[in-house]
Amino acid sequence: MEPGGVDSLREPTSVQPDSGVEPASGVETASVDSLKVLYQSCDYIIVDKHWDIRIDSKMWYEKHTVQKQLGLRFPELADPGTYYGFRFCHQLDYSTSGVLCVALNKAAAGRVYHCFKDRRATKVYLALVRGWVEEEKMTIDFSIGENTTEGRTHMMCIQGTDGCENPKPCQSQLTVLEYGDYDGDPVTKVVLQPLTGRTHQLRVHCEAVGHPIVGDYTYSLGEDSAPYRMMLHAHLLHLPLEPLPLQAAAPDPFTTPTDPRWRPQRCLRTVEGVVETLRQQEERRKRWRGREESEEQRRMCQQWLSEWTDV
């Protein structure tokens, strides 16, 4: 999706039909009073969105949404000047769980918007994908556009696909964490980092490299219906705000105690290690940006002095 924008392509309400597979005992079902708050200040609330709940909806029959959860928990913080009462700084797909940032005033929303617009926000996702990914680290680089094929207009597609319109360049990074199996089928646990923001980007990119996300009913065209959820989770969000950055992490749901159907066999690296590497890379980029700014300032100063002495 576009940074901070509203997801214009809504999936059908019944994305995952009743497959007869119940969630594991450690998995809670969604309810309007089950909101999990990860962070709260006078400007922001960050929640851990459930996998079986929409962020918001104009449909009267949508009883469970994050919008309604927030209104129930924090009625005094709702802003009647906004359509939904709360300013959602970015979007998560209906079937995606994890970190979701909500701004409590217009100025706070603007600061986060610019982080996304300038691509300074760091988003880290966890996923289980079908098959064993041979390449431990890869950059997935496929342009993604809207699918105009009849019956698939709620989906996105990679450039070159029949019916693909308005494709835009998109990049995602994939890092393998563990190899294992889910319900006896080979799967890989990975870290996904979107470097651009396009609707369904991670789902489309994983599908494009032959490793679709486990339980993605929509992009498997209804074939992957056995898992109780789509295995995509927004694990971490880092926003380089001033004077202090904002960061929150939602617990990893893809663990054997939470879901015994997932059985890891070989661990290559931990999510904590990957996040630390990303933090170090961001620090290096920050120092480099500061050095570039200093060089630009010196150049401007020298130009000004030269123009002044020539008068």
Write the pLDDT tens digit of every residue in 219-277. Answer: 999 999 999 999 999 999 999 999 999 999 999 999 999 999 999 999 999 999 998 98
Query: What span, in angstroms and rounded, lies between the C-alpha atoms of 186 and 128?
Result: 10
pTM of this structure: 0.85
Percent of the chain surpassing pLDDT 70: 84
User: Using CA atoms, how far apart are residues 128 and 65, in angstroms rounded to an integer?
Assistant: 25
pLDDT digits (tens, 9 = 90+) for 173-220: 999 999 999 999 999 999 999 999 899 999 999 999 999 999 999 999
Active site positions, annotated: 93
Cα–Cα distances in Å, from 180 out to 57, 239, 254? Answer: 37, 33, 12
Tokens representing 68 are 């309604």
Q: Environment class of residue 70 by beta-carbon count within 10 Å: exposed (0-12), middle (13-18) or buried (19+)?
A: buried
| 97-103 and 232-239 beta bridge pairing | parallel
- pLDDT at res. 28: 78
